[in-house]
């Protein structure tokens, strides 16, 4: 499951909140919430942004009833792109969170 962010933002859009709300009943085992960025900006800023994204999503899920003990967070910065950062579409796909079963 992936959810995408605006450039430089860790703010959940209404669409992202809807997608994440649908995920809530599925989280019954531990998951890592991984935050990712595109390559806009420097490495340190992107690392911090990815960490904020992961924490915002985990906080949202906890506010909807997911036990905090089931969620860990990790920021990956721009180190793990899923698409080409040379295109706007690729950058948008890279500004995301991902769930990894632990």
Q: How far is CA 6 from the centre of its chain?
A: 11
Please tell me the pTM assigned to this model: 0.92
Enter the tokens of residue 51: 């960490």
Residue 84, pLDDT > 50, answer yes
Q: What is the pLDDT of residues 23-40, one digit of tens each?
A: 999 999 999 999 999 999
Q: What is the pLDDT of residues 36-54, one digit of tens each?
A: 999 999 999 999 999 999 9
- Kindly give the pairing relationship between strand 96-101 and strand 2-4: antiparallel
3-state secondary structure of 92: helix
Predicted local distance difference test score (pLDDT) of residue 1: 45
Residue 15: pLDDT band by 50, 70, 90 thresholds?
A: confident
Distance CA(75)–CA(64), nearest Å, equals 22
Residues 6+ apart with CB under 8 A from 11: 5, 56
């Amino acid at each position: 499951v992936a959810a995408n962010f605006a450039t430089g933002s860790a703010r959940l859009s209404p669409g992202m909140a809807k997608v994440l709300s649908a995920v809530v009943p599925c989280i019954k085992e531990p998951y890592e919430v991984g935050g990712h960025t595109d390559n806009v900006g420097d490495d340190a800023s992107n690392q911090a942004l990815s960490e904020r994204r992961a924490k915002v999503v985990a906080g949202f899920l906890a506010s909807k009833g997911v036990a905090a003990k089931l969620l860990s967070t990790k920021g990956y910065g721009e180190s793990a792109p899923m698409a080409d950062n040379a295109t706007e579409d690729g950058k948008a796909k890279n500004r995301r969170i991902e769930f990894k079963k632990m």
